[in-house]
Amino acid sequence: MAGSGGKTALVEALAAELAAAGERAALCTTTLIYPPPARLCRPAWLWGEATPPPDEIAAALRPGEVLAVAQELNQAGKLTGLTPPQVAALAASGAWVVAEVDGAARKPLKAWATHEPVWPGGERLRVVVAGASGLGRPLGLDWVHRPEIFAAESGLGLGQAVTPAALIRVLFGAKGPFRELPAGMERALIINQADAVPPRVMEAMASQLAGQAPAGLRLLKGRLRWGDLEPLT
């Protein structure tokens, strides 16, 4: 999962849903995240720079439970990310692996630096989230992570209101999260916080995405905080 405005909520909800269905689920990151809440899983299994043997990984992943995995808990209280080979070792266990692959400093919108998202490789589905509560807001640090990059990619000036068209230019631009997609990769875009803006704004977003989104991209809208997710129409 990449993006902003509800990504962590989606990661945790998906892991919880898999566990509720009796599946084995691993939650991890390739960057930095705060530890998941205790209601979701027990304290994270910290691997350091090594990778446990396959039988140890398989034994730790129990049906009906979520297992959080990271390298370390840093001094800021965040879990540090696994390497791509470590994520691959989790996936080789046969469990579902849900990974958060970038940060957004708790802002509803973001632009991407050249080193992100840190996709681990080998994933079956890439999901990007954007928070509608940033639409109509002034382009700046209060609402957008990496506003200077967002400005350069969108054509907006700092302080100008963020429009659906500007957000679309960032999402599908040369530095956006959908660049360099492997052939056949399933992908989805979720415009979250749909209740945070007037219906006409979401209608404009849906209309413009319908004409500009890459072929095969699933378009969804939601209120992930409340568990709502549906097609963006």
Residue 1 has pLDDT above 90, yes or no: yes
Token pair listed for 79 = 């879990």
Strand ranges for the chain from DSSP E: 2-3, 25-29, 32-33, 45-46, 66-70, 79-80, 96-100, 109-110, 125-131, 144-145, 186-192, 218-223, 228-231
Residue type, 54: P
Residue 181 has pLDDT above 90, yes or no: no
Residue 172 has pLDDT above 90, yes or no: yes
Token pair listed for 103 = 């940060």
Cα 232 off chain centre by: 18
Question: In 3-state terms, what secondary structure has residue 88?
Answer: helix
Question: In 3-state terms, what secondary structure has residue 109?
Answer: strand
Residue 162 has pLDDT above 90, yes or no: yes
pLDDT of the residue at 226: 87
Quick one: which of 114, 118, 183 has its CA closest to 152?
A: 114
pLDDT of the residue at 182: 81
In which domain, by residue range, is 205 found?
2-231
Please tell me the total count of domains within the chain: 1
Residue 233 has pLDDT above 90, yes or no: no
Cα 27 off chain centre by: 12
pLDDT in tens, 86-126: 999 999 999 999 999 999 999 999 999 999 999 999 999 99
Using the CB atoms, write b or e for 90-103: b if 16+ within 10 Å: bbebebbbbbbbbb
pLDDT band at 184; cut points 50, 70, 90: confident
